[in-house]
Structures are given as C-alpha cells and as structure tokens.
Amino acid sequence: MSAAIDFYFDFSSPYGYFAAERIDELAAKYGRDVEWHPILLGAVFKSTGGVPLTEAPMKGKYSLHDFERSARFHDIPYNRPPAFPLPTQVAARAMLWLQSKYGADQSIKFAKLIYQGMFVHGINIAEPLNVLDIARKNGFDTEGMAEGVNTLSIKNQLKAEIDLAMAKGVFGSPFVIVDGESFWGFDRFDQIEAMLKSGKI
C-alpha cells in the first residue's frame, strides 16, 4: 500500500465536513489510508491574517448559501448550524485523546460523529458537555475522555500538531496532502482523484 493521505480539517468548517464524508471512500478506492489531523483555523488565521468565510464582507452571505447548495449538489446531509463558526478545541482534543488511547479508527469514527453532530443535528460542539454526550451515546469511553481533554499533554499535542501542519503549508480546511502534493478545499477532490488514479499531477 502506498503512503497514507494526510487530511487536515477544523470541526467548524463545512467544507471540512463535506471532505470528511468523502475522503475515506475516495482513498480506499485507490488503496490508500487516510491520516486525520484536526486543526484549529483560529490558530492558523493568527499567523495568516485570515478570517472565517462567514465573517468576510459580502462573502459571508454567499458562503452560507454555498454550503447548503454544495451539500445538495454532493448529496451530503446538511443543516445550517444555529451557532457558527465555533471554537473547536475540545472536539479536536477529544479526537487526539481517542487516537492516542484507542487508535486511529476509533478516533475517525468519533470525528465523523462530531461533524454530523454539528452540521446535521445542530449540536453546539463548542460546549464540552455536548462533545462528551456524543461520545456517550456512541459507546466511547466518556469518563476517560472527560479527563483526557483537559490534560496538559493533549493540549500541547494539539498545539504541536497545528504548528506541524502550518510548517507543511496547511492554511485552510479541508487541506489534503498526497505524496507531497497539497490540495486546499473540497473543490479539489476531483484533482485529488485524478492524481490517485494516474499517479501524475
């Protein structure tokens, strides 16, 4: 099997959610694994001067409409979250904690549930109790998670993961790196597939 694909995303990013709904299937089609990397766009934007799409003048209203339209186009369930964008450090830390304690597969299963919680079921995932509630309802180790997300080691790991992502050129969500080639945006999944298929860019 070839090298894994690196997938970077913020849990508050609608296009990141769309990517999360598709990337494993896409990668598997070409015999690839995916390494999921939760990041915090807030931390990235501090370096790049970026702003959330929905807060950019004129782009904001357009973007809210585009999220819904793109979801329909790609046949992905989507309901505009009541609160958006949100801080997502607790969800990101919970995912990293699961990864370290129970492995990548469990953490990816959880990440998809968090995204669906936010972008389908209208759950405010900035609220730690809501993150734990999603974990509880789906049979994850909620007690361990409640403690894990508050440990210094997980907090530091998330910071280091974001620094590492930025060092690799990651500046948005979703961001995918395939064999050293970077792709920003769910819009580039057609080009990612072409590269996976042909081995060329």
Query: Of the two residues 123 and 178, which places its CB atom closer to a copy of itself in the complex?
Result: 178
Query: Of the two residues 73 and 179, which places its CB atom closer to a copy of itself in the complex?
Result: 73
Q: Provide the minimum distance between the beta carbon of 128 and a copy of itself in the complex, in angstroms, as a whole number.
A: 30
Q: Provide the minimum distance between the beta carbon of 118 and a copy of itself in the complex, in angstroms, as a whole number.
A: 23
- Residue 151 burial (CB count, 10 A): 12
Distance between CA atoms of 96 and 54, rounded to whole angstroms? 27
Q: Provide the minimum distance between the beta carbon of 87 and a copy of itself in the complex, in angstroms, as a whole number.
A: 22
Query: Of the two residues 49 and 82, which places its CB atom closer to a copy of itself in the complex?
Result: 49
Query: Of the two residues 23 and 165, which places its CB atom closer to a copy of itself in the complex?
Result: 165
Query: Of the two residues 41 and 131, which places its CB atom closer to a copy of itself in the complex?
Result: 41
Q: Provide the minimum distance between the beta carbon of 166 and a copy of itself in the complex, in angstroms, as a whole number.
A: 8
Q: Provide the minimum distance between the beta carbon of 198 and a copy of itself in the complex, in angstroms, as a whole number.
A: 11
List interacting residues with a copy of itself (CB under 8 A). Answer: 47-50, 56-59, 61-62, 65-66, 69-70, 72-73, 166, 169, 171-172, 182, 184-185, 187-188, 190-191, 194, 201
Residues paired with residue 175 on neighbouring β-strands, in sequence order = 8, 184
